[in-house]
Amino acid sequence: MEINNCYRLLDVSERSTNDEITSAYKRLALKYHPDKNPGRSEWANEAMSRINTAYSEIMSYRFKKTTAENESIKPGPGKTKNDAAGKSEEKNQEIIDRFVKNREDAKDSLYRYFQYNLYNLHRRMETGNKRIFENIVKQLKRSYHSIELLSGLSMDPETKDHLTVFNKMIFDFYRASECLNILDSYSNQYDVDAYRIYKKGDEMLNDAQKEIFYDRHNRGFIKKTVAHANILNSARLFERTLQLYPESSWAVETQIKYEFAKSLNKYFELFFNE
């Protein structure tokens, strides 16, 4: 869906704040939710799918969009793209060092996300936590754009792979965190059945993230087997939901979480098996 159509569908503009876009989404979701249209469930599911897609596309577009702040990120004093892209081990090490700094900044943000239980949407909407989430997103965005720049400078395949896999994980994490659909009734059985499988997958995915980005730091070691199993099982449940309930109002969010489970798995296998 083109970004301009997404803005039109939610009846917002490029000048609208993220809060205004979220409010518009919630207002439309309340209007078109299948439970509000019991006689037109198929139509309502399709409408919810379009609304969910539009919201996800807008927020993803804004995350990836280069801002003045992102434009200020430079390769470094005296370093041109051709220079940094050379095969020199010293120059590649400089890229790695800068990546590690941005990676640790992003991981610190992910730690705070779970420290404050911000995966709980009701808790996230509390005034203080809302500000914390906004700051987390800002830091993830800074890290994402910095790593994107470094990826363009690197000519070492192994280094580039690490940068690409980590950045894809950051982006998919953000997309998953912006999934706002909440089951608020049980009158539509098709949606309820889809939600039950989706919810199991979501809980496993959340457990895996929490282990990787939060619990292991507090504990001092990681439960690798448990974390990896949760990632793989969550992906299977999301895939099953999409296969059995492709027309559910949960399909868009399920696809987003499925993509994140796959990118989290790539990140885990690359960074935790070295």
Question: 63-82 b/e with 16+ CB inside 10 Å = b?
Answer: beeeeeebeeeebeeeeeee
Contacts for 44 with CB less than 8 Å, ≥ 6 apart? 32, 33, 34, 36, 37, 249
Using CA atoms, how far residue 44 sits from 39, 107, 181, in Å, is 9, 39, 14
Q: What is the mean pLDDT of each run of 10 residues along the chain (274 residues)?
A: 93 93 90 79 84 94 75 48 57 93 97 96 90 96 96 92 97 95 71 93 97 97 97 98 93 96 98 84
Using CA atoms, how far residue 14 sits from 24, 62, 64, 190, in Å, is 13, 9, 14, 35
Give the whole-angstrom CA distance, residue 230 versus residue 204.
Answer: 5
Residue 188 has what pLDDT? 78
Residue 186 has what pLDDT? 64
Residue 204 has what pLDDT? 98
Residue 143 has what pLDDT? 97
Residue 86 has what pLDDT? 46
Residue 56 has what pLDDT? 94
3-state secondary structure (DSSP) of residue 174:
helix
φ/ψ of 174, rounded to 5, equals -60, -45
Residue 77 has what pLDDT? 43
Q: pTM of the prediction?
A: 0.88
Helix axes 127-153, 157-177, angle to 10 degrees: 160
Residue 44 has what pLDDT? 82
